[in-house]
Chain A
């Protein structure tokens, strides 16, 4: 009887700590969800004189995949980004983050280019606007230009099946 209260507090603490241990501190929730996608106007990797801006994509659902040739995890998720692009649900736009265009082109040549368009963010400023802090990152933007989803880290088949593809279908319908 006299130990009931301390025991209850102890169990509560253990519960909270166990929950806290299960969280990933690297996953910082983005404040950008349901906010308008930050504006950009960037040179295309393959046609540097051509500028692509977020306004060109208004009215359609699209995916922004942030990657770099120096990013090891990007290589790991490349297969799944390619799979997503091959489903032809939406445009997958690549944001080449803090990279050199020679390296980026070489990388795409070597591993295949799944992107409808590749944008060059050589100095990382657009990355800052999008709150990018660890490549790869994947965003989904809806028809109204609002960011609906952000995934930090390499996507895999599980992420595609359970989160990305269902959300895309929902936003498209």
Chain B
């Protein structure tokens, strides 16, 4: 546990790969930062020291070296491990609620707040007698 606490996550990705182009290097680092390590689920491939993460980094590198596009590499991982590997979920029917749920909630809450405020404005002001009695009571109290 202590070991885990004091291990800086950035040191995890220790393998060094030779990239044929800066584009490939950028693609590689973007992919390993956006793919989830399935063993240690709150880490991405870049930050994980797990054996599987190492293997998947190697796989990512090799697929890119073979000329696969980043999308194809991501699809390769999804085909094997499911949508869960993507830290940035794709927009599709299953993820509509995930993407738009918060906005729906926001609109709903705004509507409730506005409705509550309107209701307040429509309150009938207390009549003069009642106000007078209230003042009386308050000043009585003070004495």
Interface majority SS on B: helix, strand, loop or mixed? helix
B79 (CB) vs chain A CBs: closest residue:
A31
Which A residues are CB-close (under 8 A) to B52? Answer: 124, 133
**Cross-chain contact B41 with A131 (CB below 8 angstroms):** no
Residue tally, chain A, CB below 8 Å to B: 19
Known: A98-B51, A128-B56, A133-B39. A28 touches B84 (CB 8 A): yes
Answer whether residue B81 sits at the interface, using C-beta atoms and an 8 A cutoff.
yes
Q: Which residues of B contact A128 (CB under 8 A)?
A: 55-56, 59, 80
Cβ-closest chain B residue relative to A5: B112
B interface, size bucket = 10 to 19
Secondary structure at the A interface, as helix, strand, loop or mixed, is: loop
- The reply to whether B51 and A28 form a contact with Cβ atoms under 8 Å apart is no
B39 near A32: Cβ-Cβ < 8 Å: no
Q: A128-B55, A133-B52 are in contact. Are A30 and B41 (CB under 8 A)?
A: no
CA distance A31 to B99 in the complex (A): 21
Contact residues in A for B82 (Cβ distance below 8 Å):
28-31, 131
Instruction: Decide: A124 near B81, CB < 8 A? Known: A133-B39, A134-B39.
Output: no
Q: Any chain B CB within 8 A of the CB of A129?
A: yes
Cα A25 to Cα B84 with chains together (Å)? 10
- A31 & B81 in contact (Cβ 8 Å cutoff): yes
Residues on A with C-beta less than 8 A from B59 are: 125, 128
* Contacting pair B80 A28 (CB below 8 A): no
Interface residues of B in 27-58 (CB under 8 A from A): 38-39, 41, 51-52, 55-56
Q: A26 at interface (Cβ–Cβ under 8 A)? A: yes
Contact with B along A112-125 (1 / 0, CB 8 A): 00000000000111
CB distance from A79 to the nearest CB of B (A): 25
Q: Taking the complex as formed, is B134 at the interface, i.e. its CB lies under 8 A from any CB of chain A?
A: no
Contact A28 B38 (CB under 8 A): yes
B78 interface residue (CB < 8 Å to A): yes
- The interface residues of chain B lying within 8 Å CB-to-CB of A125 are 55, 59
Partner of A28, one of B55, B79, B81: B81
- When the two chains form their complex, are residues A129 and B80 in contact, meaning their CB atoms are under 8 A apart? yes
Show the binding face of B for A, using Cβ within 8 Å.
38-39, 41, 51-52, 55-56, 59, 78-84
11 A-B residue pairs with CB within 8 Å: A28-B38, A28-B84, A31-B79, A31-B81, A31-B83, A38-B80, A125-B55, A128-B59, A130-B80, A131-B81, A131-B82
5 closest A-B pairs by CB: A133-B38, A131-B80, A31-B82, A28-B84, A124-B55
